Chains A and B, each alone.
Chain A
Amino acid sequence: MTTTLATTPGLRVETGPALLQHVELGPSLAAHRTLHPARPAPRFSDLAAAVRSVGLSGRGGAAFPFARKLVAVSTAGGRRPVVVVNLSEGEPASSKDAALALTKPHLVLDGAVMVAGALRTRELHLVLPGEGPDVRRAVVAALAERGRDDRVRVRLHDADPVFVAGQARAVVELMSGRPNRPVTSWQSTSVSGYRGRPTLLSNAETYAQLALLMHEGPAAYRRHGTPDEPGTTLLTVHDTRGSRVAEVELGASWSEVLPDLEPQRAVLVGGYHGTWTPAAELLRLPVSRTAMDARGLSLGAGVVLVSDTCPLAHAATIAEYLAAESARRCGPCLNGLPALAVALRRVADGVGGTGEVERLSALVTGRGACAHPDGTARMVRSALTSFGDEVAVHARGGCRYRRADLGGDLS
């Protein structure tokens, strides 16, 4: 079953097995309480044990073990922690957090409220997308429905609509009233974040997964997924049929998730900071962080972008976009990413070699306040690595993708 979100043109949200069950019931608190009548208020030790038992990882892209983050915040000592839900999705290809806000806002809020209670804090911050009025409306409406029952003070923040605004340090800057851009991190935000306080900052899906885990218990949570990777994950899929957010069980095969995917296409997995791969390669793999990491593919924030054109030209277009999205604060990013995009475009146009791309990729990596240069270099390199034979075709003035009935050029 599919629910089309009228407020977000073109975005479809499919009913899923766990987080997105019964999307058709709507986002109201009443619908939520029908599905999840209990209102657990776990102690920290029980919450951390449950999280550890299912190996819940962060869903913002880095897949950091959530239990480690919880422990870092709870043992940082001194001042009361702060809980932050990041709904801002700076990644333009990702819509899963918007989908959650629009269809299951109370699952996200339940998770955040449970963690706040377990950490004995009442301070909850929600970071909303700057260009997502529908997300803001949905969250404000959900908060109004809940009234004062949660015993938390909620503050809303509107992120800037730029790629790097969702990065952890940039979010702390926004909360602190400074420009919403990354700064150098000398300590993890878990230890010293907002106003120097221990700050639990995670993505909206992470809190929704946590809420489901505590509502249903670890045994029920484990009914989905595999023994090694229990549960589900949200995906934002872009293909010839449009864009959709879907929830899939971990361990499912990509060929089941993407039955229409033609093996000759190129796919960008994980988002604009992700990894290019031939579809044929992806179709042999399961939706599993472990199995995909072993092949150099990161699931990231769950974006799957099926290209309708040549991967080299498409990667160059994305690199140009990412170069323009630099916060323009760090020299290597400000200067290096445009140069890298030019070098890749020259390869795509068949007039430049890969040596300059490799050199610039290595040069920008690790040299910035945030991972924007690193992620951009990873995406660029993967296009060359995964489509090395296509690079050779381009060097001779050809391109197999334009001939292969894949539609028009992206750019």
Chain B
Amino acid sequence: MTRVLVVDWPSCKGRGLCHELLPEAIDLDDWGYPVVTSTVSDQLLVNARKAMRACPTLALHLVSERT
């Protein structure tokens, strides 16, 4: 199983906190919306959870995917 960050796009307002807290896995596009650049390894899990909790619209989700 791989952990993947999924953005609930209609909820996301591009505040960018997720990138601040998890630059290893989240970039920002030209307009400040997140670009997920990698899956969430064990090392990134703590910061990924912080990023999810910090999102003002709770638009960032972590889902498990079968590889």
Contacts and interface: CB of A to CB of B under 8 A. Distances in A.
A and B physically associate: yes
Interface of A: 181-184, 329-333, 335-336, 339, 363, 367-369
B interface bracket (residues with beta carbon within 8 Å of A): 10 to 19
Interface of B: 6-14, 29-33, 35
Contact of B10 (A330, A335, A339): A330
B14 A331 contact: yes
Nearest to A332: B33
Nearest to B11: A184
B9 A331 contact: yes
B3 to A, nearest CB: 16
Nearest to B33: A331
Please classify the interface of chain A as helix (H, G, I), strand (E, B), loop, or mixed, using the class held by over half of its residues. loop
Contact of A183 (B10, B12, B14, B33): B10
B64 to A, nearest CB: 13
A184 B33 contact: no
Nearest to B10: A329
Given A363-B35, A367-B7, A330 B30 contact: no
Contacts of A367: 7, 9, 33, 35
A340 to B, nearest CB: 11
Contacts of A183: 10
29 contacts: A181-B10, A182-B10, A183-B10, A184-B8, A184-B9, A184-B11, A329-B9, A330-B9, A330-B10, A330-B12, A331-B9, A331-B12, A331-B13, A331-B29, A331-B32, A331-B33, A332-B9, A332-B29, A335-B29, A335-B33, A336-B30, A336-B31, A367-B7, A367-B33, A367-B35, A368-B9, A369-B8, A369-B9, A369-B10
